[in-house]
């Protein structure tokens, strides 16, 4: 997880985190996020689903932290 020390909070997911969770290479994730034609639609969907899932987890964790 990436941590913003100045803010004292975690940032949303990084390309490396997405790649690790989706079991893909960072370059593939980057191409999928840039909507490259080289990436299959199934792979793009996997990347986008992974981004949503990771960000939801971080937002929920932050909400629990703020809420007590």
d(CA 5, CA 8): 5
The predicted pLDDT at position 10 comes to: 59
The predicted pLDDT at position 61 comes to: 79
Instruction: Residue 13: count other Cβ atoms within 10 Å of its Cβ.
Output: 20
Confidence of residue 59 (pLDDT cuts 50, 70, 90): confident
Confidence of residue 68 (pLDDT cuts 50, 70, 90): low
Looking only at Cα atoms, what is the longest distance across the chain? 45
The predicted pLDDT at position 13 comes to: 86
6-46 confidence digits (pLDDT tens): 445 556 789 999 999 999 999 999 999 999 999 999 999 99
């Amino acid at each position: 997880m990436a941590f913003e020390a100045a803010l004292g909070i975690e940032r949303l997911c990084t390309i490396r985190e997405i790649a690790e969770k989706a079991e893909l290479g960072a370059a593939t994730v980057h191409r999928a996020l840039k909507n490259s034609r080289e990436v299959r639609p199934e792979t793009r969907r996997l990347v986008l689903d992974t981004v949503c899932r990771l960000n939801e987890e971080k937002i929920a964790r932050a909400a629990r932290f703020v809420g007590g």
